[in-house]
Every structure is written in C-alpha cells, then in structure tokens.
A and B are shown apart, each in its own frame.
Chain A
Amino acid sequence: MALPDFLNNYWILLPEWMRLVVWTGIKIGMILLPVIICVAYLTYFERKAIGYFHSRKGPNRVGPWGLGQPWADVFKMLTKEIVIPAKSNNYLFIIAPVLAFAPAVAAWAVIPFSPTMTLANINAGLLYLLAMTSLGVYGVLIAGWASNSKYALLGAMRSAAQIVAYEIAMGFALVGVLMVSNSLNIGDIIEAQSGGITGWFMWPLFGLFVVYFISGVAETNRAPFDVAEGESEIVAGFHVEYGGFGFAVFFLAEYANMILISALTAIMFMGGWMSPFSETGPIGQYLLDIPFLGALLGDGFMWLALKTSFFLLLYLWFRATFPRYRYDQIMRLGWKVLIPVTIVWIFGEGIAIALGWKPWL
C-alpha cells in the first residue's frame, strides 16, 4: 500500500511493535465496522421479513422503505439514560455486556472472507472458533447474577445449561468436519471442499450439518430456543435490568453471534467463498468462461455473503414459524437426540475413512 510521502515519513519513524499494533488495529476496524453495520441492517431485515411472514408491512416510516429505522433505533438506545439497579453489583453489571460482545467479534479474526482475505490464518483456527463461541456464555451468566434480580438469574441459569448442552453437539459436528478435511485450519477446510457444489461437506455430512445449525440456533439463544429471554415466563431473562446502552450491546452481541454462526455453517459445510460452479464441472466449464458473468460467478466473497444471508433468513424463518420449546424438551433434544446423532455419524464416518470410501477422501 502506497502512502503519501509525509505520512510515510512518520510511519517509518514509528517503532516496529507500534507499526504492528496500528496496522492490526486498522485491520480489526475493517472487519468490525462492516459487522456492526450488518447487525444494524439484520435487525431491519428481521423486522421486515417477519412482517411479511405475518402479512404486515414492517417498519416503513424512517427514510425510504424504512431503511433509516436501524439508525433511529441506535440513536434512541445511545441517548437513553443508563440505569444501574441500586442493589446490583456495579462493576460486573457494567462489564457483562462487554463480555458478551467481545467473543462474538473476536471469533471473526480467523474467518476467511475470500481466497486471500483473512486477518489471522492460524493453524488451530477451528479450535479457536470453538473456544471463542464457548466464551459468550459468561456475559449472560454475569449479567444474570450481577443484576440481583430473580428473573435475570433464572434466565442466566437456563441459558448456561442450554449452552453447555448444545456446545457438545456443536463440537462433535465440527469433529466430523475436521476428520474429512484433515486440518484445523479454516482455509484448508474450505480448500478441501473444492470441486463445485458436489464437493461441499454438506452432502456426505448431512446429519452433522443439520445438527450443527440447530445447535447454532440454540447457542445464540434464538427462537425456538429462546427460553433464556422467554418474555412470557421470565419477562426478558438475563437482560431484564438493562436499558439503553447496556441493552444495545447485548443486542449487538446476539446478532453478531447469529451472523457468525451463519458464516461458520457456510464455511464448514457449504464451502465458504467457493463458488458452486467448478471450472471442470458440467455447467461451470462453459459458465465461467463468459467474460463478465464468469468472474462474478467464480470463487469470491459474494458467495460467502450469499450463503451467510441464506442461513440468516433461516434464523428468521424459524422465529416466524416455530413456537417456543418447553425447557425439558430443549434439554431432551440436546442430550438425547443431537449428541447421539453426532456420535453415530462420526463413528460411521470413521469406518468409511478407514475403508477408504470415495466421498470421504
């Protein structure tokens, strides 16, 4: 990257480690800002989509087609008074939303956005992702305890038990992926799915794919698994005492997690930035040679965006369709259905790999 001369002079003056810090900071900003804007418009999209599911119009007052609605919401939230309950634990009460939000964005560090674009291409990327997604529960737990409210504590307990249960199924589903791809590096996992739509892991690992996405929905506390909030039973669950900015950060964390899980499902099972058309495939060999359209249909960021959006739509679709699970049903689904499915699937997969069957090679 070429800088203007006067800036370049200053840049060279900086010590080595400071250049590293500044440059990493810029890269983090380049990921964080789009994620936050995506969150803002995901809320708009959610209200609009569920509106149409219900044959309503959804938000349509602020700006053309209601497009200004997220900004109106953001400014409303930020300018509201921050209320801290008198008997709460001040320090933990304030730090809880930050703890919920930080892992949700930290996980983006290892996501490859296109064949060449990754912030940190680390060896143990898959493990890092699992570790980061398992940290999100602390924000919920601490918020529930620090609020000093019965509803908040109940919500936190529900959420913690649920996340611990579904994390196991989620981890096992990813074990299946790493057995096939033979690597923990996210870039390598995507490379292993090359060869067009038939190369994607979602076909040989269909069961794990379904389990992973269901567990993802449960991990993010979204409908139909949103008993942690459960407004008809425990008001708003763990964030009942939060208003204004604190609530906004929790909201941001929840939606950032939704986008993250959708992107991960796309990466692990649908080839991430891989195009469904391969250069050697039956259609792809003609399609990719077309001058302008070919480049657009080839591998690239747009495919990841498209797949992620599809899973986000599924999230909203679930919310508009399914009634909320009862709590014991959630536990039963997690421990007695999803985990056995993953164990059996991994066992079968192991046999197939040992025998050298084609789809697993």
Chain B
Amino acid sequence: MTFTAFLFYSFAAVTVAAAVNMITIRNPIFAALSLVLVFVSSAGLWLLMQAEFLGIVLVLVYVGAVMVMFLFVVMMLDINLEEMRAGFTGPYLWAGLLVAVIMAAELIFVLKGGNFIEVPTVLHPEGYSNTKELGSVLYTEHVYSFEIAAVILLVAIIAAIALTFRRRTGTKHQNISDQVKVQAKDRLKVIDMKSERKS
C-alpha cells in the first residue's frame, strides 16, 4: 500500500464514521461537529485527487463560515435531551419510513445501472494551476449559468432579510453620525454665577 493509498483510506474511514455518527448521535452540537469532521476529511479526499481549489474552498466556506453559523444557532437552543430521546412514533415515523424507502429505491436504481466508469487519475504536470483552469472555464464557457447562480443567491439573501425583518416601533437606537458629530458645547453648558451664601 502506498502512502497515498494509506491517506485515502484513513480519510475515507474518518468521513464514513463521522457521517454515521452525525446521523445517529442525539446531541445536536455533536452532530454539527461531526458534520464539520465530514467536511474536513472530504476536503482531504479532494486534495488527494489534486483538486486543491475545491478542497480548500470546502473548508473555507462550509467549515469556516456555514458550520460556524450552524453551531452558533444550535448552541443558543435550549436542548432537552430527554425529550429528544423519547418518542419516535406517530405520523413522523411513517413519513420518515416513506422517505427512506424512496431514497433506498433511488440509490439501488442508480447503483444497479452500472453508471460508474473507472476514471484514471490524471497526473498533472508541475505548474498546473487548478484554480486558473477552473476560473477560465467558469468565466468563459459557463458564464451565463454562473451569473444566474449568483443572481439567485442574491435574491435568496434579500428574500431572507425581507422575510425576517420586522420594523418594530418603540425601539431605541443610536444615531451614530450624530454621536460622532457632537461638540462639547452641545452637551455641556458652563454658566457664570456668583457664589451664594445661606443667609
């Protein structure tokens, strides 16, 4: 077994174990952290396939930003573990089973069809820049789909803000530019008066 193969099998084992752990574990914090581990080890797998741009961007975007937000929200939840352990019955069970059956059928259908072709690993020459290749394809051949994706994301951002933003009345807030512009004479009045004496 070469060193690369050893690395591949270790990353693959960690990925699978963390993915199973993520689904089976009860505590949502541990589930989120397992998902982080899945992302990091899949980034390692991508690096082994010489896709360094995708691998590092996976860590940067998903681990560095998205999962931080996830954890941020999950940590603020008041988690009652007892309640989560109880009850996996009722309508949810049937809905879950239905989805599971459909997913399993789809997987079997895809895997049976023999759609897997063995792709030989292409060893790129030294000085080959994955990032540059990706950029030149993305901005020439697929520029329209790329820009449409960007616009959809922008719409989603604006929609998310518009849906959750409620103008509440009676809130207090500061006007920063007024605070910055304030002068000493606006706040402080020095008056000239004679000292008084109790008669």
Query: A-side interface residues toward B, CB under 8 Å?
Result: 16-17, 20, 92, 122-124, 127-128, 130-131, 134-135, 137-138, 141-142, 144-145, 153, 156-157, 160-161, 163-164, 167, 184, 328-329, 332
Query: B-side interface residues toward A, CB under 8 Å?
Result: 2-3, 6, 29, 33, 36, 52-53, 56-57, 59-60, 63-65, 68-69, 71-72, 75-76, 129-131, 174, 176
Are B60 and A131 in contact, with the CB atoms below 8 A? yes
Cα separation A122 to B131 with both chains bound (whole Å): 12
Distance of B101 from chain A, by nearest CB (Å): 36
Cα separation A332 to B173 with both chains bound (whole Å): 13
- Given A92-B33, A153-B75, A160-B71, 4 more pairs with CB closer than 8 A: A122-B52, A127-B131, A131-B64, A157-B76
Are A124 and B131 in contact, with the CB atoms below 8 A? yes
Cα separation A167 to B2 with both chains bound (whole Å): 38
A-B contact pairs, 21 of them (CB 8 A): A16-B3, A17-B6, A92-B29, A92-B33, A124-B52, A124-B53, A124-B130, A127-B131, A130-B64, A134-B63, A134-B65, A134-B68, A137-B68, A141-B71, A156-B75, A157-B75, A164-B68, A164-B69, A167-B65, A184-B129, A329-B176
Given the complex, which residues of A lie within 8 Å of B176, measured CB to CB? 329, 332
**A141-B71, A160-B72 are contacts. A135–B59 as well, Cβ < 8 Å?**
yes
Cα separation A124 to B51 with both chains bound (whole Å): 10
Given the complex, which residues of A lie within 8 Å of B174, measured CB to CB? 328
Are B72 and A141 in contact, with the CB atoms below 8 A? yes
Other-chain contact of A145, B2, B29, B53 (Cβ < 8 Å): B29
Given the complex, which residues of B lie within 8 Å of A138, measured CB to CB? 36, 68, 71
Given the complex, which residues of B lie within 8 Å of A160, measured CB to CB? 68, 71-72
Given the complex, which residues of A lie within 8 Å of B29, measured CB to CB? 92, 145
Distance of B63 from chain A, by nearest CB (Å): 7
B176 and chain A: residue at smallest CB distance: A332
Cα separation A131 to B76 with both chains bound (whole Å): 25
Other-chain contact of B75, A20, A137, A141, A328 (Cβ < 8 Å): A141
User: Chain A CB within 10 Å — which of B52, B60, B64 has the most?
Assistant: B64
Cα separation A156 to B76 with both chains bound (whole Å): 11
Are B64 and A167 in contact, with the CB atoms below 8 A? yes
Other-chain contact of A134, B60, B71, B75, B130 (Cβ < 8 Å): B60
Are A145 and B75 in contact, with the CB atoms below 8 A? yes
Cα separation A105 to B72 with both chains bound (whole Å): 25
A171 and chain B: residue at smallest CB distance: B60
Cα separation A128 to B131 with both chains bound (whole Å): 12
Given the complex, which residues of A lie within 8 Å of B65, measured CB to CB? 134, 164, 167
Given the complex, which residues of A lie within 8 Å of B3, measured CB to CB? 16-17, 20
B27 and chain A: residue at smallest CB distance: A89
Cα separation A141 to B29 with both chains bound (whole Å): 11
Cα separation A224 to B176 with both chains bound (whole Å): 18
Are A127 and B53 in contact, with the CB atoms below 8 A? yes
Other-chain contact of A127, B6, B33, B56, B71 (Cβ < 8 Å): B56
Distance of A102 from chain B, by nearest CB (Å): 11
Cα separation A167 to B71 with both chains bound (whole Å): 17
Cα separation A128 to B60 with both chains bound (whole Å): 8
Cα separation A134 to B56 with both chains bound (whole Å): 11
Cα separation A119 to B169 with both chains bound (whole Å): 58
Given the complex, which residues of A lie within 8 Å of B68, measured CB to CB? 134, 137-138, 141, 160, 163-164
Given the complex, which residues of B lie within 8 Å of A156, measured CB to CB? 75
Cα separation A144 to B33 with both chains bound (whole Å): 14
Other-chain contact of B52, A123, A144, A328, A329 (Cβ < 8 Å): A123
Distance of B3 from chain A, by nearest CB (Å): 4
Distance of A198 from chain B, by nearest CB (Å): 28
Other-chain contact of B56, A128, A141, A144, A145 (Cβ < 8 Å): A128
Distance of B51 from chain A, by nearest CB (Å): 10
Given the complex, which residues of A lie within 8 Å of B130, measured CB to CB? 123-124
Are B131 and A123 in contact, with the CB atoms below 8 A? yes
Distance of B125 from chain A, by nearest CB (Å): 12
Cα separation A127 to B60 with both chains bound (whole Å): 8
Cα separation A138 to B131 with both chains bound (whole Å): 27
Given the complex, which residues of B lie within 8 Å of A332, measured CB to CB? 176
Cα separation A63 to B33 with both chains bound (whole Å): 45
Are A157 and B72 in contact, with the CB atoms below 8 A? yes
User: Chain B CB within 10 Å — which of A124, A130, A137, A153 has the most?
Assistant: A124
Given the complex, which residues of B lie within 8 Å of A17, measured CB to CB? 2-3, 6
A16 and chain B: residue at smallest CB distance: B3
Given the complex, which residues of B lie within 8 Å of A164, measured CB to CB? 65, 68-69
Cα separation A161 to B73 with both chains bound (whole Å): 11
Given the complex, which residues of A lie within 8 Å of B53, measured CB to CB? 124, 127
Given the complex, which residues of A lie within 8 Å of B76, measured CB to CB? 157
Given the complex, which residues of B lie within 8 Å of A122, measured CB to CB? 52
Distance of A182 from chain B, by nearest CB (Å): 10
Cα separation A184 to B130 with both chains bound (whole Å): 11
Are B60 and A130 in contact, with the CB atoms below 8 A? yes
Distance of B73 from chain A, by nearest CB (Å): 10
Are A135 and B72 in contact, with the CB atoms below 8 A? no
